[in-house]
Structure 1
Amino acid sequence: MLAATGKPKSQSAPERRIVPDVVRQHAEQAAFFWMQRDTLMAEDPPDLHVIAGVDRRLEANLDGLRIAGTAAWPFIVAAYEDFPEKGELFLYGWMAIEQNDDRRVAEAVELGRQSENDACGLVGALAWHKPVTIAPLVRDWIGAPDAFKRFLGLSACLGHGVDPKQMLARLVRDPDTRVRAASLRLAGKLKRADLAHELRAALNDTDEPTRFWAAWALNELGSGDLASPELRRVAVGGGPDALTALRAAVKAAPDKDVRAWMGGLLKTPETAPVAVRGAGMLGDRTILHWLVHQMRQPALAVAAGGALLELFPEARQADLFTTEPSQVGQAFEHHFGDAPSNLPVAERVKEWAKNIG
């Protein structure tokens, strides 16, 4: 157990008595659980029940670090030096903000600037803290000359749904592409109809993510006719925003038009998985038998599994998936090799469907 002194938190207070191995474990597990959470959130679709359990374990370890206070820093620094990954960056940024330590916050910003994963760990730390806690930082960053700090400020606003008011009108035209993309995304999330002109202009931006988030934001404002071409292009492109684009493209047009588009995608092997996954976003549970058929094709199985879970969240509780391609058949083993994949087993799904009627 950690021993707390009971004194108020202070940067100048003496370090608290701790059990080093326990604090080290808290630091390592906090970094691991946030990394696990971030990975689980990227699954298609994410299992929010499992993520809630991870959140509880993460918060328990963060509590241990709160109790340890400044004495936890050697372990946090060592964790990042050993594994400079997104979970360790989250931990570094979270603790710096938690202790209101300007020097450590500045260090976290520089570590985020150097990270290879778009500083998602530091962005996650900003999202984990309450808005009132990070408000002074966000106010300083969002108008800073440093583009990376502007990006961090916008990311914090995105994480908490905070509107920077008139500042956003300037940021959607920011010279930095990453800032522009984040600003447009925030404009869509907040449904800032007053920025519709800027969103339409951004559809012609030379930067691809900027164009995509402009289209996504316009779709959120109800201008799906303008947004659809860009959303569909990104959806079939297979990039990091493809799934978000597909979901938006389904929303952007009438059901009849979306089904016709997907019918065309089904005719081409390269785009057929997009159509199968998109079918699960239409909300039509009567396609279950058709999905089972798609699950028997290695190239379509993962997309069909994602569609199944979206239409039938209760399917998570049944034993319908496997991570071993060899259990599904030789064709699956040849197609997936050693790549980890969560594959639906068509015969299990078929039997489950019969049982639930």
Structure 2
Amino acid sequence: MFAAAIPHIVEQHAEEAAFLWFLRNRAVNAPHYKLSELTRLDNRVEAHLDGLRIAGPEGWNLCEQALEIGEAGEVFTAGLLALESKNPQKLAKVASIAEDSVEAAKGLVSAFGWTEPSKLARTVKLLLDSSSSFHRFIGLSACAVHRVNPGNILDNWVQDHDAPSLLRARALRTVGELKRRDLIYDLRNCFHAQDAAIRFWAAWSAVLLGNRSDALEVLKVFMATGSRQFPGALPMLLRAMPIEGSAPLLKGLAQYPERQRDLIAGTGMVGDPLYVPWLIKQMETPELARLAGESFSFITGADIAYENLEGERPEGFESGPTETPEDEDVELDGDEDLPWPDPAKIQAWWVARQHRFQAGSRYLLGAPISESQCRKVLQEGFQHQRTAAALELALMRPDEPLFEVRAPGWRQQRLFLHTA
């Protein structure tokens, strides 16, 4: 039995659930969210989903109508209710909308990721066995986000040269996320594939499985071309290769002014305190200051906001979209949520503490990179830092799946409790 629904309240639940999911979708990739804050946001999403569940058919009807918008948040909300209803027709309706755009598909995959794995087995099996390549892609993505091995079907798609590119690329990525070491030689067979996504995800996964030779060479090509389509090339390269091998790559980036941001981010990925004085110098350039501050924190562990190392936003500095109609730049400011560092304060901080650091060694948040430090950062760090720690840990432990830092916060916290 469902409680009598009050239409405008149910409509508010639907709108808020979709909007808050949009916020959490940004939060999982944001530099200023910790796991505790992500969990609070997830709890807010869940509260509105509960309102929709209680409303019963009225809740579904409103979510179904909102699907016409075609946005990822609305797809997530409707997708979750469809999954919980175990009604194939409802899920098919959501999938038909999600198939129209990459962003909308993310909403549906997120609905699978939100749902407990024990409630998904039959639904995912039907998707994996579907004749629709998009349904198979969603089914495989559901397995990947829950780090559940789909078995031989993954082998088949990795080896199938006729499989749709989107599906095969997802299969290759899944091999690395799940640490399917038995498929490492199949990955190498893809290093010279014509499709760039196939080459990239094959090399990316191969590095996670322990290949530190030809797989890294494939990723170097992606890094050198500066392809924004594959931003994962740089962190995988610089975190996987020996520290002495990273210096020539960074010097190569330094030759190109347009790659300055990659260079600054790269020094933080390497983690060598040798680069700290140079990073402090970059903080004097407004366009680079906040990113340089983040890389400084990646190495030293300094919390610029918490430790009173912030400065003022430079007067007249503008970034991201403006209100000028003639301005064609509509891209959001990627550094928006980073603090403005004060170079003088940070210089003083560094002078007082630099004796704790050894040049030529790798650090993550002020401590030498180790399994224990990575696990500490996973529990206490900001999302950018947690993503780095998850990757470092996966590279250290070739048999341990890549930790999913985008999973619902309560599930991540539960995992920590079970492994404590």
Q: Please give the range of the TM-score, normalised by the shorter of the 2 chains.
A: 0.7 to 0.9
CA separation in 2, counterparts of 1:146 and 1:321?
52
| Residue 92 (structure 1) shift | 1.0
* Alignment partner of 1:110 is 2:96: yes
CA separation in 1, counterparts of 2:41 and 2:308?
21
| Residue 118 (structure 1) shift | 5.9
The 4+ residue runs of structure 1 with deviation greater than 4 A are: 44-47, 318-322
**Corresponding residue of 1:137:** 123
**Corresponding residue of 1:32:** 19
- Check the 8 A contact 1:265/1:271 in 2, yes or no: yes
Between 1:224-233 and 1:173-182, the stretch displaced more is 224-233
Q: Aligned with 1:119: secondary structure?
A: helix
CA separation in 2, counterparts of 1:75 and 1:336?
34
CA separation in 2, counterparts of 1:313 and 1:24?
44
CA separation in 2, counterparts of 1:346 and 1:292?
9
**Corresponding residue of 1:278:** 266
- Check the 8 A contact 1:26/1:62 in 2, yes or no: yes
Match runs of 1:247-266 below 5 Å:
247-266=235-254
* Superposed CA offset, 1:290-316 (max 9, x none): 322112224533532442453437335
* Alignment partner of 1:345 is 2:332: no
| Change beyond 3 A, Cα 1:204–1:221 | same
| Residue 207 (structure 1) shift | 1.3
- Check the 8 A contact 1:191/1:221 in 2, yes or no: yes
| Residue 263 (structure 1) shift | 2.0
| Change beyond 3 A, Cα 1:240–1:58 | farther
**Corresponding residue of 2:191:** 203
What percent of counterpart residues are identical? Answer: 33
CA separation in 2, counterparts of 1:235 and 1:321?
32
* Alignment partner of 1:150 is 2:144: no
Letter in 2 for 1:315: I
Match runs of 1:89-238 below 5 Å:
89-117=75-103, 119-174=105-160, 175-236=163-224, 237-238=226-227
| Change beyond 3 A, Cα 1:100–1:316 | farther
Letter in 1 for 2:157: L
Q: 2:4 aligns with which of 13, 17, 21?
A: 17
Q: 1:54 aligns with which of 36, 41, 45?
A: 41
CA separation in 2, counterparts of 1:234 and 1:227?
11
Q: TM-score normalised to the size of structure 2?
A: 0.73
The structure, 1 or 2, with the larger RCO (C-alpha pairs under 8 Å, 6+ apart) is 2
| Residue 144 (structure 1) shift | 2.1
* Superposed CA offset, 1:99-139 (max 9, x none): 21221111011111113426100010011101111111111
| Residue 97 (structure 1) shift | 0.5
Q: 1:245 aligns with which of 233, 236, 239?
A: 233
Between 1:227-236 and 1:107-116, the stretch displaced more is 227-236
- Check the 8 A contact 2:293/2:341 in 1, yes or no: no
Letter in 1 for 2:203: A
- Cα RMSD, aligned residues only: 2.6
| Residue 168 (structure 1) shift | 1.2
Structure with the higher fraction of residues in helix conformation: 1
| Change beyond 3 A, Cα 1:218–1:316 | farther
| Change beyond 3 A, Cα 1:320–1:157 | farther
CA separation in 2, counterparts of 1:52 and 1:316?
21
| Change beyond 3 A, Cα 1:294–1:84 | same
Match runs of 1:72-87 below 5 Å:
72-81=59-68, 83-87=69-73
- Stretches of structure 1 that go unaligned for 5 or more consecutive residues are 1-6, 8-14
**Corresponding residue of 2:397:** none
Letter in 2 for 1:247: P
CA separation in 2, counterparts of 1:186 and 1:176?
15
CA separation in 1, counterparts of 2:104 and 2:198?
15
- Check the 8 A contact 1:225/1:252 in 2, yes or no: no
**Corresponding residue of 2:327:** none
Q: Count residues with an aligned counterpart.
A: 336
* Superposed CA offset, 1:182-237 (max 9, x none): 11111111221211121001111111111111011110111121122232333352
Q: Aligned with 1:314: secondary structure?
A: coil
**Corresponding residue of 1:314:** 303
Letter in 1 for 2:124: V
